[in-house]
Chain A
């Protein structure tokens, strides 16, 4: 046992729990922590805004599956973290946030930089703590990591008063950790439930798998692929699920939902058995709920019991971690394949052929151009560069959907998108976190011109760390997705979406001391991209694309996914008020 300060205990506890990097920003009450970090081997990455510390921690977590760690001071530091924490909560990403709090004697007295971080972060986290006693600090950090990564992952915040950071206590790495009484993890799948599910699955003539982020959290990609192969069922991913099944797998159809492919959405509409794996029947996937998979019986597998029957009633609900559930299902599917599995196999194979034919006949289409760079063409070029192997982070909006449609992912944890909360400004800091986690991988941040400006200060972090992230700004001079809705549903009354005063990218990059450039002519795109990716350091490439381009297919908000708009028909579009 050694006598350590609260700040030292915090840092030693972070290291003990496996933290490799902390994304943070110092301030008054966290001075004791930063004094420890001054001479400690734990890596601290100084970001330029606390929101980006939370996003970078997510980038690290999404790339590795381990908890990402961010840190901020009290008051504004903590409130700035909040968007990144809600974002992690919505997408079930493990993050541990450490915030400093004013000394206990000042709490409740409107002290300088005091905010009720514990109260504010209650609804922004899976769980949170206010540490007022140094004897609880080590255990609390342990619990925070355990809660963040286990079960349905999510963000956990630990708020620590400054007097705790300054006081001293005994600390040992071998301290016994108390169990959490109210925190129960999903049990192993029950054999009877697996048996019922297997019988349910073999009764299907038109099975369809809809898999999401839960499969990636569970590291169940291999099991997912095997499941689809055993059942001989087509598979669509949510935007969170991309990469769980390799894009090139013959059973993979595409993304489904609001901007999903024709085949993916018609597949879910026509199936007789829908298997939801680690998904939450989000409104951006289902569109009008009563017309989503209208003739299908539903098997829903999720680790969170609160997801079963939340939006769509499941005929069979299985609460459990995707990996052991799929393993158990696969084992029984393999054993019963030659018996039960034979009964409807002819119908299933015909169905698979039908869905594959829809995919073949209805690819994502766009009008090619030799005068302007089409955003979809840009995504295709980036896809060629990546070859399905790069880590791609995106922001929120049109570029996000085009990237989801056109880029391939050969593995899970390559694709990072703020999917549930839809936070603009996510892509660039997430790419930083991903690059710190996976130095050997190509990391591409594809961002829009709107979201890029929200994360602009992080060019400072990228420059200071010589972080070789490739930033591709898909610049259409507008807030494109908002403009698209105004174009289609608000009679082209383009209200406050013009962000055309974009800075000169090469000058902007140079001002931060990094390389950059712009390209607008399709004939120059290959060279510009080659230049960006040949550059050993970071690169900022501003790509001017067709301004008035819309993402298709599109399911209007509240519409049925089978009624998607497939191509531009601006005159025919009806004004539909939606959210």
Chain B
């Protein structure tokens, strides 16, 4: 099954390699992995979606947690986390079909971020399911190219929260 892991790591060379290594050395395929700095630029948050067997989930979290650069890793698979993904879709669509396309894209709160005589580039965010539905719809208009960001997730529940400094704390420590 697909496991959703959120982790707070030190923003250091090799940190990504170490985390990915725990997964790859077990032969788990990484479906998506996103990483970017937090408010504290010495820390990064990673979101990983990987295909992991049910009995391997707990062990995987523990083995990632023991990496020296990992401050905390949480399994969000079964938790009420907010999951979002960004997709950029370039769609080659004839001029007469563009109004219909725009109306339908609106349903998904997708917006056009670039337009040319041949194509629109559309940006949308949402849950992976919503984006899959959008992609299926757009494909009915013509050939598409797309780039997906992979999932980002943030825990709703307090128990799965990563110990990232908030804006207020960061402001205080800088002040």
Interface residues of A (CB under 8 A from B): 118-119, 122-123, 126-128, 130, 147, 180-183, 304-306, 309-310
**With A305-B65, A306-B63 in contact, do A182 and B14 touch (Cβ < 8 Å)?**
no
**With A306-B62, A306-B63 in contact, do A122 and B18 touch (Cβ < 8 Å)?**
yes
Name 15 A/B residue pairs within 8 A (Cβ), A-sorted: A118-B14, A122-B14, A122-B17, A122-B21, A123-B25, A127-B67, A127-B68, A130-B13, A147-B68, A181-B10, A182-B10, A304-B66, A305-B66, A306-B66, A309-B59
Residue B47 lies at the interface, judged by CB distance under 8 Å to chain A: no
By a CB distance below 8 angstroms, the chain A residues around B14 are 118, 122, 128, 130
By a CB distance below 8 angstroms, the chain B residues around A310 are 59
B13 touches A181 (CB 8 A): no
By a CB distance below 8 angstroms, the chain B residues around A183 are 68
Q: Residue on B with the closest CB to A143?
A: B68
Separation of A61 and B26 alpha carbons in the complex (Å) = 30
By a CB distance below 8 angstroms, the chain B residues around A123 are 21, 25
Q: Which of A122, A182, A305 has the most CB of B within 10 A?
A: A182
What per-residue 1/0 map shows which CB atoms of B49-60 lie under 8 Å from chain A? Answer: 000000000110
Residue B74 lies at the interface, judged by CB distance under 8 Å to chain A: no
Interface residues of B (CB under 8 A from A): 9-10, 13-14, 17-18, 21, 25, 58-59, 62-63, 65-71
A182 touches B70 (CB 8 A): yes
B66 touches A309 (CB 8 A): no
By a CB distance below 8 angstroms, the chain A residues around B71 are 181-182
CB distance from B68 to the nearest CB of A (A): 4
By a CB distance below 8 angstroms, the chain B residues around A147 are 68
Q: Residue on B with the closest CB to A308?
A: B62
Q: Residue on A with the closest CB to B24?
A: A123
Separation of A123 and B17 alpha carbons in the complex (Å) = 10
Contact of B67 among A118, A182, A304 (CB under 8 A): A182
**With A118-B14, A122-B18 in contact, do A180 and B68 touch (Cβ < 8 Å)?**
yes
By a CB distance below 8 angstroms, the chain A residues around B9 are 182
By a CB distance below 8 angstroms, the chain A residues around B17 are 119, 122
B68 touches A306 (CB 8 A): no
By a CB distance below 8 angstroms, the chain A residues around B18 are 122
By a CB distance below 8 angstroms, the chain A residues around B67 are 127, 182
Q: Residue on A with the closest CB to B59?
A: A310
Separation of A28 and B67 alpha carbons in the complex (Å) = 32
A-side interface mostly: mixed
Q: Which of A119, A128, A306, A309 has the most CB of B within 10 A?
A: A306
Separation of A118 and B18 alpha carbons in the complex (Å) = 11
Q: Residue on A with the closest CB to B13?
A: A130
Separation of A126 and B63 alpha carbons in the complex (Å) = 11
Separation of A306 and B70 alpha carbons in the complex (Å) = 14
Separation of A128 and B14 alpha carbons in the complex (Å) = 9
By a CB distance below 8 angstroms, the chain B residues around A182 are 9-10, 67-71
Separation of A123 and B13 alpha carbons in the complex (Å) = 15
By a CB distance below 8 angstroms, the chain B residues around A118 are 14
Given A130-B13, A130-B14, list of 19 further CB < 8 A pairs? A122-B14, A122-B17, A122-B21, A123-B21, A123-B25, A127-B67, A147-B68, A180-B68, A182-B9, A182-B10, A182-B68, A182-B71, A183-B68, A305-B62, A306-B59, A306-B62, A306-B66, A309-B58, A310-B59
Separation of A130 and B13 alpha carbons in the complex (Å) = 9
Q: Residue on A with the closest CB to B20?
A: A122
Q: Residue on B with the closest CB to A304?
A: B66
Q: Which of A181, A309, A310 has the most CB of B within 10 A?
A: A181
By a CB distance below 8 angstroms, the chain A residues around B62 are 305-306
By a CB distance below 8 angstroms, the chain B residues around A181 are 10, 71
Separation of A153 and B10 alpha carbons in the complex (Å) = 21
Q: Residue on B with the closest CB to A182?
A: B71
Separation of A306 and B9 alpha carbons in the complex (Å) = 18
Separation of A180 and B12 alpha carbons in the complex (Å) = 12
CB distance from B21 to the nearest CB of A (A): 6
Separation of A130 and B11 alpha carbons in the complex (Å) = 15
Separation of A163 and B67 alpha carbons in the complex (Å) = 29
By a CB distance below 8 angstroms, the chain A residues around B10 are 181-182
Separation of A310 and B58 alpha carbons in the complex (Å) = 9
CB distance from B123 to the nearest CB of A (A): 35
Separation of A122 and B12 alpha carbons in the complex (Å) = 14
CB distance from B113 to the nearest CB of A (A): 35
By a CB distance below 8 angstroms, the chain A residues around B66 are 304-306
By a CB distance below 8 angstroms, the chain B residues around A306 are 59, 62-63, 65-66
Q: Residue on B with the closest CB to A128?
A: B14
By a CB distance below 8 angstroms, the chain B residues around A304 are 66
Separation of A130 and B17 alpha carbons in the complex (Å) = 13
CB distance from A161 to the nearest CB of B (A): 13
By a CB distance below 8 angstroms, the chain A residues around B59 are 306, 309-310
Separation of A518 and B9 alpha carbons in the complex (Å) = 58
CB distance from A108 to the nearest CB of B (A): 13
Separation of A309 and B17 alpha carbons in the complex (Å) = 26
CB distance from B165 to the nearest CB of A (A): 12
Q: Residue on A with the closest CB to B8?
A: A182
A126 touches B68 (CB 8 A): yes
Separation of A228 and B127 alpha carbons in the complex (Å) = 56
Q: Residue on B with the closest CB to A152?
A: B66
Separation of A520 and B30 alpha carbons in the complex (Å) = 58
By a CB distance below 8 angstroms, the chain B residues around A128 are 14
Separation of A183 and B10 alpha carbons in the complex (Å) = 11
Q: Residue on A with the closest CB to B18?
A: A122
Separation of A231 and B71 alpha carbons in the complex (Å) = 38
By a CB distance below 8 angstroms, the chain B residues around A126 are 68
Separation of A310 and B63 alpha carbons in the complex (Å) = 10
Separation of A123 and B67 alpha carbons in the complex (Å) = 11
Q: Residue on A with the closest CB to B25?
A: A123
Separation of A122 and B63 alpha carbons in the complex (Å) = 14
Separation of A181 and B165 alpha carbons in the complex (Å) = 13
Separation of A43 and B59 alpha carbons in the complex (Å) = 42
By a CB distance below 8 angstroms, the chain A residues around B69 are 182
By a CB distance below 8 angstroms, the chain A residues around B58 are 309
Separation of A147 and B70 alpha carbons in the complex (Å) = 14
CB distance from B136 to the nearest CB of A (A): 40
By a CB distance below 8 angstroms, the chain B residues around A305 are 62, 65-66
Separation of A181 and B65 alpha carbons in the complex (Å) = 12
By a CB distance below 8 angstroms, the chain A residues around B65 are 305-306
Separation of A127 and B66 alpha carbons in the complex (Å) = 10
Separation of A181 and B68 alpha carbons in the complex (Å) = 8
Separation of A127 and B21 alpha carbons in the complex (Å) = 12
